[in-house]
Amino acid sequence: MVLTNKQLADLNDTKKNEGVYNVDPDYAKQHDNKPISQGSVISTSDGQKFKVIQTENGKGSGFQGMAVAPVSSQFLQGNLSQTVVVSAGTDPHHLNDLIGAGEGINGNSAQEKIAENFVRQVQKQVKNDNGQVVQLSGYSQSAYMLKVGANSHIPTTVFNGWFNYDTLTDDEKKFMDENSELFINFRHRDDEVVVIADHNGLNIERPDGATNTYDPFTSDKDRDKNLHAHGTVIWTDGTSHNIGDWKFDKYGFPVDDKGKILVKENQLSDPSYYKKKLKSGILSGSQKIALQTELARSVATRMRYESVIDQENYIRQIEALKRTREELENERIQKVLKSLGYTYGSLGEAKQIYFENAGNNRYDSEKYDKIIRNIKTYFEKKKDLAYKITNWVNQVEENDWKDRERFR
């Protein structure tokens, strides 16, 4: 199983017991949490358990990281084929953490190299058991995991990313450009902390290079361009830098204040990364099976996103038609009454006079509302189907991995 965004947020949370910050026993003690160490079993808010495979607590650098694998009835010690690495953001009470954040404004945090080495160690460890690292995540300063992911070719999701994209190498930029659907940086447009690092993408370089200007009406596309973010940022309204303030739907997808799922357009495109890998001709049988599973899961996720987008588009069209019909109805009523010599003080009074004489020959908004309810019901069923497909893929994957272990 690839973790949901909600599960990733839980593992990045600064306050929860399952948060990666608790790899530092001093931090855990200060926050009345249980320290996390290799062998620990932690749970996210949805009840999913994870076995901690490896941890790193760099007191000198301020880096904390952990590798976790989902636990199930078939994998009581964790499914190593679905290992995820999470890196902690900035602890404001830790001097070296603050230094790292400062380095991240114009360059790269020193913690990035430590994180890169940690991921390699985890990859080496789980590879011995036919495992693999399938996902990276971070929050705030540890958005440098985007660079680690681009370097290691591992899908990466970060929150409130404090990250300088100019630190990417040419090869990392190329991979991110070609596979930007694998990299997500959830950002608030008016993040009160990251504004210190990059003005939330509102910096626009003048042609003469003399100074920067600040334009609060900058589009999301231009924000992304200003940050050289390679299409990785998903923007939404908000000022909070607190990871606990992100909202999610019942499937673990982030949503805005109106409940709309936050999604990038390129996440609706063909999952070409997996397809290209499958066609490369350099994969073993087990690697092909693993990639085919990821491809199936990617298609199910795409189906989920498309359902959300299609539902919103159809409802928007019906509501527009409803408004147009109402406007035409009001215009017709006033025109008819005027031609008959009726006088009225307001549109409401005009409609009352008209319908008293017109009987049942009237516009009924409930018909449009019923259509909208039916649209929502249809797409909810489609989203549930996508969710069931994802769960089925996870189960098939677990069974396959168990069989491979049995015949090793």
Full DSSP string of 28-58 = HHHTT-PPP-TT-EEE-TTS-EEEEEEEEEE
Task: Note whether 58 and 115 are within 8 A (CB).
Answer: no
Of 135, 38, 138, 26, the C-alpha closest to 87 is 138
Distances (CA, A) of 100 to 156, 185, 267: 20, 19, 31
Query: What is the pLDDT, as a whole number, of residue 139?
Result: 95
Tokens of 133: 């690292």
Query: What is the pLDDT, as a whole number, of residue 148?
Result: 96
Query: What is the pLDDT, as a whole number, of residue 20?
Result: 94
Query: What is the pLDDT, as a whole number, of residue 318?
Result: 73
Query: What is the pLDDT, as a whole number, of residue 201?
Result: 85
CA dist., res. 266 & res. 260, Å (int)? 17
How far out from the chain centre does Cα 374 lie? 28
The helix or strand, by DSSP H or E, that contains position 406, with its residue range, turns out to be helix 365-406
Query: What is the pLDDT, as a whole number, of residue 168?
Result: 94
Of 12, 28, 25, the C-alpha closest to 242 is 12
Sign of CA dihedral 341, 344, 350, 354: negative
Distances (CA, A) of 105 to 159, 197, 225, 399, 401: 17, 5, 17, 45, 42
pLDDT tens across the length of the chain (408 residues)? 578 899 999 999 988 888 999 999 989 998 899 999 999 999 999 999 999 999 999 877 789 999 999 998 888 899 898 899 999 987 666 655 556 556 656 666 788 999 999 999 999 999 888 888 989 999 998 999 999 999 999 999 999 998 999 999 999 999 999 888 889 999 999 999 998 888 888 864 544 554 455 566 678 888 888 889 998 999 999 999 999 999 998 878 888 888 887 876 555 444 565 566 656 665 555 556 666 666 666 666 666 666 666 676 667 777 777 777 677 777 777 777 777 777 767 767 776 766 666 654 555 666 777 777 777 787 777 777 776 776 666 666 666 655 555 544
CA dist., res. 122 & res. 104, Å (int)? 25
Length of the chain: 408
At position 176, the amino acid (one-letter code) is M
Calculated CA dihedral for residues 277, 282, 286, 290, nearest 10 degrees: -10
> Which residue's structure tokens are 């990276």?
136
CA dist., res. 178 & res. 380, Å (int)? 32
Please tell me the pTM assigned to this model: 0.70
> Which residue's structure tokens are 């936050």?
262
Which residues fall within 8 angstroms of residue 68, CB to CB, at 6 or more apart?
11, 42, 50, 51, 52, 53, 78, 83, 84, 86
- Burial environment of residue 301 by CB neighbours within 10 A (0 to 12, 13 to 18, 19 or more): buried
List alpha helices for 263-363, DSSP H: 272-278, 285-340, 347-358
Task: Note whether 149 and 182 are within 8 A (CB).
Answer: yes
